[in-house]
């Protein structure tokens, strides 16, 4: 896992080469919406793209994590079917439905049934390297999604933003590693509670998923300003055990709405009153040139934290045996 995290930035370069060699079967479509199909790590690339392009993409961009599609997906929808293994049953089912409705499919996968289906039905196919856990391969997916959107004329060339993201991830310093290791030691045995604004909720999702899968530890996340209308009230009288076990992680970027900056300050004050000590709230400020760079810096930071937390917990970050068991039981139920 350490090697996979350390080499993660290289995925942006390799995926750009894959995109450069891709000859789209169809580019005449001018979609009215974009739908990403995927689960877990395969869906996550879309979350980064969604956050990055919120102020640029001129049409709806939605991620679907289920078997079913809403009625709005149809012939004018560009569907990005993302399954690292190519065998995710929910994604395959939704892709079949999208095809039946005449949607334009682009399949991003390392192989499996999704690649077979793309070849059989003439869908665009972007093959990425296999052989690793899906959660560690989202750099391929997010890079390819950006290039696909560019090929369809929906966004500007993403390469400068990808280059800036690669630069900030590869500049992660030993001092930063030391800080993350120390934080992991403090997080072990706690309940991490992750907050961000809606500008960076993708990396809050990523951190939650990585703590779950790599460190084998429960946590949750919520997003400002939404949590100010519900969850914040729970901090008035938090359950005794939670008050003692909670550790808040607050993720911020340079791209917050001015009113959300005010909210962050007020939330900090409220949370510090509820937590047992000030060292139970850790703020992480992104760095990097541009929104994508800052989001991927936080992603890289989250990945390292999950690895060091796994070490602190004495957990092997690679296997996810309970998910394997779930899939085997689902297979029996066919």
Q: Is residue 246 domain-shared with residue 124, that is, in the same domain?
A: no
pLDDT digits 0-9 by tens, 207-225: 999 999 999 999 999 999 9
pLDDT band (50, 70, 90) for residue 322: confident
> Percent of the chain beyond pLDDT 70?
98
What's the domain range around 220? Answer: 174-313
pLDDT at 267 > cutoff 90: yes
Q: In the prediction, which pLDDT does 55 show?
A: 93
Strands (E), 85-133: 104-109, 124-127
Q: Is residue 151 domain-shared with residue 206, that is, in the same domain?
A: no
Query: Which tokens go with 130?
Result: 């296999």
Q: Is residue 153 domain-shared with residue 8, that is, in the same domain?
A: yes
pLDDT digits 0-9 by tens, 82-116: 999 999 999 999 999 999 999 999 999 999 999 99
DSSP string, 162-220: HHHHHHHHTT--HHHHHHHHHHHHHHTTSEEEEEEETTSHHHHHHHHHHHHHTT----E
In a domain, 322, yes or no: no
Which is catalytic among the residues 174, 229, 237, 332? Answer: 229
In a domain, 116, yes or no: yes
Which is catalytic among the residues 113, 150, 222, 327? Answer: 327
pLDDT digits 0-9 by tens, 170-206: 999 999 999 999 999 999 999 999 999 999 999 999 9
Based on the residue annotation, tell me whether 229 is a catalytic residue of this protein.
yes
Which is catalytic among the residues 47, 123, 166, 213? Answer: 213
- Mean pLDDT along residues 23-44: 88
Q: Is residue 249 domain-shared with residue 115, that is, in the same domain?
A: no
Average pLDDT, the chain: 95
Question: Among residues 123, 157, 191, which one ends one of the domains?
Answer: 157
In a domain, 219, yes or no: yes
pLDDT digits 0-9 by tens, 62-73: 999 999 999 999
In a domain, 162, yes or no: no
Q: Is residue 150 domain-shared with residue 197, that is, in the same domain?
A: no
Q: Is residue 292 domain-shared with residue 190, that is, in the same domain?
A: yes
- Mean pLDDT along residues 6-12: 98
pLDDT band (50, 70, 90) for residue 334: confident
Q: Is residue 148 domain-shared with residue 39, that is, in the same domain?
A: yes
Based on the residue annotation, tell me whether 222 is a catalytic residue of this protein.
no
In a domain, 279, yes or no: yes
Bridge partner list, 249? 194, 282
pLDDT at 246 > cutoff 90: yes
In a domain, 204, yes or no: yes
Which is more confident, 249 or 326?
249
What is the number of domains present in the chain?
Answer: 2
In a domain, 329, yes or no: no
Based on the residue annotation, tell me whether 327 is a catalytic residue of this protein.
yes
Q: Is residue 97 domain-shared with residue 68, that is, in the same domain?
A: yes
We report the CATH number of the domain holding residue 232 as 3.40.50.10490
Q: Is residue 31 domain-shared with residue 81, that is, in the same domain?
A: yes
Q: Is residue 204 domain-shared with residue 253, that is, in the same domain?
A: yes
Q: Is residue 73 domain-shared with residue 15, that is, in the same domain?
A: yes
In angstroms, how far apart are the furthest CA atoms of the chain? 60
Q: Which residue has the tokens 């085997």?
A: 328
Q: Is residue 9 domain-shared with residue 136, that is, in the same domain?
A: yes
Strands (E), 4-110: 33-37, 61-64, 77-83, 104-109
In a domain, 237, yes or no: yes
């Amino acid at each position: 896992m350490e090697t996979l995290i350390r080499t993660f930035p290289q995925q942006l370069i390799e995926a750009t080469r894959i995109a450069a060699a891709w000859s789209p079967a169809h580019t005449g479509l001018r979609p009215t919406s974009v739908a990403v199909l995927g689960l877990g790590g395969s869906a996550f690339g879309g979350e980064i793209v969604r956050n990055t392009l919120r102020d640029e993409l001129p049409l709806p961009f939605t991620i679907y994590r289920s078997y079913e599609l809403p009625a709005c997906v149809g012939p004018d929808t560009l569907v990005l079917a993302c399954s690292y293994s190519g065998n995710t049953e929910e994604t395959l089912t939704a892709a079949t439905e999208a095809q039946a409705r005449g949607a334009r499919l682009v399949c991003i996968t390392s192989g499996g049934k999704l690649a077979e289906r793309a070849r059989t039905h003439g869908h665009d196919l972007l093959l990425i390297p296999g052989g690793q856990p899906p959660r560690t391969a989202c750099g391929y997916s997010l890079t390819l999604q950006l290039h696909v959107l560019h090929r369809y004329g929906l966004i500007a060339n993403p390469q400068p933003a990808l280059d800036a993201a690669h630069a900030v991830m590869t500049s992660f310093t030993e001092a930063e590693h030391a800080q993350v290791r120390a934080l992991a030691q403090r997080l072990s045995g706690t309940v991490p509670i992750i907050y961000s604004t809606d500008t960076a909720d993708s990396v809050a999702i990523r951190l939650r998923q990585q703590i779950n899968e790599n460190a084998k530890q429960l946590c949750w996340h919520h997003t400002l300003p939404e949590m100010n209308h519900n969850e914040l009230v729970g901090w008035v009288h938090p359950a005794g055990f939670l008050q003692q076990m909670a550790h808040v992680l607050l993720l911020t970027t340079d791209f917050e709405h001015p009113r959300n900056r005010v909210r962050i300050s007020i939330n900090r004050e409220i949370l510090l009153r509820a937590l047992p000590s000030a060292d139970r709230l850790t703020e992480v400020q992104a760095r990097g040139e541009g929104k994508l760079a800052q989001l991927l810096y936080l992603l890289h930071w989250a990945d390292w934290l999950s690895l060091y937390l796994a070490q602190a917990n004495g957990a092997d970050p690679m296997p996810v045996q309970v998910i394997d068991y779930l899939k085997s039981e689902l297979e029996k139920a066919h």
